[in-house]
Amino acid sequence: MSDEVTTKILNRLKSIEGHVRGIERMVENDTYCIDIVNQILAVERALQKVNSMILDRHLHTCVTTAIRGDALDERERVISEIMTVFETTGKL
């Protein structure tokens, strides 16, 4: 993974961490429920973006290498991993 991509992912995760702490404070301060729900939804969207970035990197590195390689077992393994992830998340 390139240093630039790693930095972007880590920065997003640190931002998400700060938002989660903010949600914790909102709960402690008995903030209006819908405001809390909106912040939680924002964190979920941010996590989805991080997930997308990591999946993109995986497809362009590990999966591409396996598909271009000669090892049929490795090719089948990475395809199976991806299928399992999408089946588990209900995104397929």
CATH of the domain at 73: 1.20.58.1000
Quick: pLDDT tens for 36-52: 999 999 999 999 999 99
Of 22 and 2, more confident: 22
Question: Is pLDDT of 1 > 60?
Answer: no
Query: With helix as H, strand as E and coil as C, how does 64-87 read?
Result: HHHHHCCCHHHHHHHHHHHHHHHH
Q: What is the extent of the structural domain holding 48?
A: 3-89
Distance linking the first and last C-alpha atoms of the chain: 26
- Look at the chain and report how many structural domains it folds into: 1
Give the model's pLDDT for residue 26. 98
Q: pLDDT tens digit string along 39-92? A: 999 999 999 999 999 999 999 999 999 999 999 999 999 999 999 988 887 765
